[in-house]
A and B are shown apart, each in its own frame.
Chain A
Amino acid sequence: MSEPIKYRLESFFWRWAQRRSPRASAVTLRHRSIYVLPSKAGLGFFLAMLLLWLLGTNYQNNLILAVSFMLIALFLVAILHAFRNLAGLRVEGLPAEPGFVGERVELAVELTPARGCRADNLLLALAPELEVRADVAQGKRQLVHLPLRAEKRGWLRPPRLLIKSYYPLGITRVWSWVHLEARVLVYPKPLPASLISASGGGELGDEGQRLKAEDDFIGFSQYQPGASMAQVAWKLYARGAGLHLKQYGGAEQESLWLDFDAVQGDVEQRLSGLCFLALKWHRQGRDYGLKLPSGTLNPATGDEHLHRVLKALALYNLPETD
């Protein structure tokens, strides 16, 4: 009986909190979305205050009472300072680097303090155990990378960001929930896989042998932006000859296809396998294309191509495709 009520109360609370701080790409913390309560240490502080009051009352000693009043006063003032520390802080989500499922991706957030202010001892967390500490100096911006566990491929929308601080005395906990309009692309988890010949007959030969054959070095070509770093002829570059690319493969160099139908397993396993192969071929600097039931990407090389391929794999069959 109590479970649903608790659940409903909680969800009501979060809806309320969300209304007070709606999702946006940049959020400035205002009094509407800043909360202050005593921290755990604050309760200890209260206890000390209470004991002092008892001591002062019992011995009818005004000075001891004054100390206990001073503690109350400090607590009140600490609340104001804690609020000031967070108020006016601007939080902006920046474009984030994609990552793979099972890794930690990092959401980049830029913090800008209010005019003429600084923000001390901030703790930012997207998940309770992944806290990051930040201090923002007056008139400066501070870039913070917030770790986030990627569990599913596709666009990862960060959960509400908790920004809290125990500044100035550790007895107050001031915090705010920020719903940042940001997203991180999560690629499928690369899992070793091999291609089955598209024509249906067995595996695509002994891949190791083919690779050896393709590893035959045939010459250098002019560097093109976006080419794989692995293809760069570093020795040549070191001699001062400029950037060149090593060409492998020879005459039978042909485009490879990441074919959704040519890997085994369910959809996710296939996507993981294709992801693995894409990374591998990219490392080897080879031409490859992507064939998914939803569309085709023509063979090419380079980091951008890799990103396009991985993005297509990440978003395959998901409602949000851009």
Chain B
Amino acid sequence: MPTYSASEVASLRGDRETALIAGDGGLQFVSRLRFSITGVGAGLAWLAFGLSCLRWPDIGDWPRTEVVAYTAFAIAGGIAIATTAQAALGKFGDGVQRRAPWLFALGAFLTLWELSTAKFGWLPLPFFPPPQSIVEVYTDDLPKLLDSAFASVKLQLGGYFIGAAVGFLTGVSIGWSRLAGYWVHPILRFIGPLPATAWLPIAFFTFPSAWSASTFLIALATGFPVTVLTWSGVASVSSAYYDVARTLGARPSFLVTKVAIPAALPHVFVGLFMGLGASFAVLVVAEMIGVKAGLGFYLQWAQGWASYNNMYAALIVMSLLCSGAITLLFKVRDRLLVWQKGVVKW
């Protein structure tokens, strides 16, 4: 009787599978289908959401209820198919399968939300709008929302990059040069901890435009943490690194650019992360108070009309943008700091 090692058996099975698929499509495709409980469960949850939209009449006037219902059916079908045919769909199928428990929770939440708002009014209107009224914002008020999002991104990017660049350069200079430290440190201690939003009233008067005032404030909010952390990063570089570089013939400019700055980068990224959070806060407040554009302004405007569905819709967009910005920052960090062991994944 022949004996096989585990790997041989596995490779035999693998060969057979690929052979079957290569041989003839239809029937073999069916043989690779796997019934996934979580996948079907998630599909059912979305199906329930769609049905809940259609089963009872709306207690208000929401034109998008049917569209939402049919979209939910489509999603339910998509989840069920993707998880069942997971093996044949490769990466996409795996991704859906891995997220199936979350998709289930989301479907269940939407069903509950639909029932407690649009159908039975357990939650008071208009403070808790149903899902279809938020979808309605995206379908009917999209241009305005996009304009606002674009304005926010533009304002945020400008301020953030100015603040990050100035903060980085300031941090390196005070970490490196005693003279720079002597002059800049007291100013930093005096102005830095002040919340940037406290400058708002003055900034809007002294700057030529609300736009430039907000850019300045976002830069200020970003610059402080970036400065402090870059500084502490540069100051905490082990002197052994400098000794090594100096004995190998390094000049001071080399010590700054090739020793101090790379060694300080992990700290710099903590500063950039904190600065990003602080700058979001300033951005929204500035848009609510002075700038006549952006998602903060949109929120304020929607509140004026008591249209809460617009506010929720804007909040979701805002959340996606902020989360996306942090994801991007972490991607850049992972690229630059591959040499570090065990960096936190976002």
Interaction A to B = no
> Contact residues of B with A, CB < 8 Å?
none
